[in-house]
Amino acid sequence: MTPATNLLNSLRAIVGTAHFLTHDDPDADLSAWEQDWRKRERGRALAVVRPGSTAEVAAVVKACAAADVSIVPQGGNTGMVVGSTPDASGKQIVLSLRRMQAVRVLDAANLTVTVEAGCVLQALQEACAQSGLLFPLSMASEGSCTIGGNLGTNAGGTQVLRYGNTRELCLGLEVVTAQGEVWDGLSGLRKDNTGYDLRHLVIGSEGTLGIITAATMKLYPMPVAQLTAFAALPSLEAAVALLGLAHQHLSAGLTGFEVMGQFALGLVRKHFPTQQVPFAARARPPQASPPGQRTPANRWGRGAGIVLFWKPPTTNPKPTPAPNWSGC
């Protein structure tokens, strides 16, 4: 028996036949794990393994380390940089975390949730909302991406202005190291100043330092209201001025601020011709500029859009003074 066959037999025994796929099986279709979601790159895996517990992840990593075979951890496979798919060598193992999706503990008093790495972001948001709590990480891929992938990439999302990147939302991690040992760093303690903080090394390391199997994340009270404003502005400079005003008047109530330029709106117009371009009728014509020179006017073109998300703070019973936008 070859070393590769030995390894594959061990991996099959660890996760069970139902959760183990190779090209040797003519009925197995590995394409969903071998290709990035934009279908730009296609790799070839030695096998896809789908462990169901931290102990199984550790056993898989130990077996691969002993055989000197590299592993590509995969969550929802929604990443933009093809980090979660194997190369074309046919020698890498794809380790999918998607079976590990349990919400282990939701501690409403401590405002924390401990969740397994394969939990889909939207499922976590919904589980927290059922207890009246907000898990604020949010992005357009939330129906598919996983907490492990969010931590692996230190994802940002639409509310990063208020709540920070995924790093800022994480209080503790459970990680399987490259040797197959389990580091239990799960903790809901906010005021933790004990020594080195391995958590921050692992977050954003995309599986190069270990495989995240679970995490303790921060929660917030659910906001009582949410307002969204959409504004047309003549330049990026005006957008920056508007952001300054929004910070000044809304403080922590400001959760998001997104700028849409003409290029993005042009793509919407091209691919979704029935969509109405916002403010198109009231847009100013672009100002002339010397050929090749980018001025704020021709960089943003007509009516750069600003989307403002504003969540009034839940703890402040005083009414927020009405913002004065007249400076923009």
Nearer to ligand FAD, 33 or 310 (CB): 33
Q: Give the 3-state secondary structure of residue 102.
A: coil
Q: Can you tell me the distance from the alpha carbon of 190 to that of 51, in angstroms, rounded to the nearest whole number?
A: 31
In angstroms, what is the minimal distance from the CB of 191 to ligand FAD?
A: 27
- Report in angstroms how near the CB of residue 139 gets to ligand FAD at its nearest: 4
Element (H, E) at 88: none
- Rank residues 208 and 324 by Cβ distance to ligand FAD and give the closer one: 208
Residue 232 vs 268, nearer CB to ligand FAD: 268
Q: Which residue is nearest to ligand FAD (CB)?
A: 149
Closest distance between ligand FAD and the C-beta of residue 317, in Å? 33
Full strand arrangement of the beta sheet holding 20-21:
20-21, 45-49, 92-96, 71-74
Nearer to ligand FAD, 166 or 303 (CB): 166
Residue closer to ligand FAD (CB basis): 188 or 256: 256
Residues in touch with ligand FAD (CB under 6 A) = 72-80, 83-84, 97, 117, 139-141, 145-146, 148-150, 152-153, 155-157, 206-207, 211-212
- Taking the C-alpha atoms of residue 247 and residue 249, their distance in angstroms, rounded to an integer, is 6
Alpha carbon of 314 to those of 28, 137, 311, 322: distances in Å? 51, 18, 8, 17
Is beta strand 103-107 parallel, antiparallel or unpaired with respect to 92-96? unpaired
**For ligand FAD, which is the closer residue by CB, 77 or 101?**
77
Nearer Cβ to ligand FAD (165/234): 165
| Whole-angstrom distance, CA of residue 203 vs CA of residue 191 | 19
Spatial separation of the C-alpha atoms in residues 75 and 85, rounded to whole Å:
10
Minimum distance of ligand FAD from residue 163's CB (angstroms): 13
For the chain, percent helix, then strand, then coil, each to nearest 5? 30, 25, 45
CB of 81 to ligand FAD, least distance (A): 8
Smallest separation (angstroms) from ligand FAD to the CB of 281: 29
Smallest distance, ligand FAD to C-beta of residue 12, A: 21
List alpha helices for the chain, DSSP H. 3-15, 31-34, 54-67, 121-130, 147-153, 160-163, 166-169, 198-202, 236-250, 262-271, 296-300
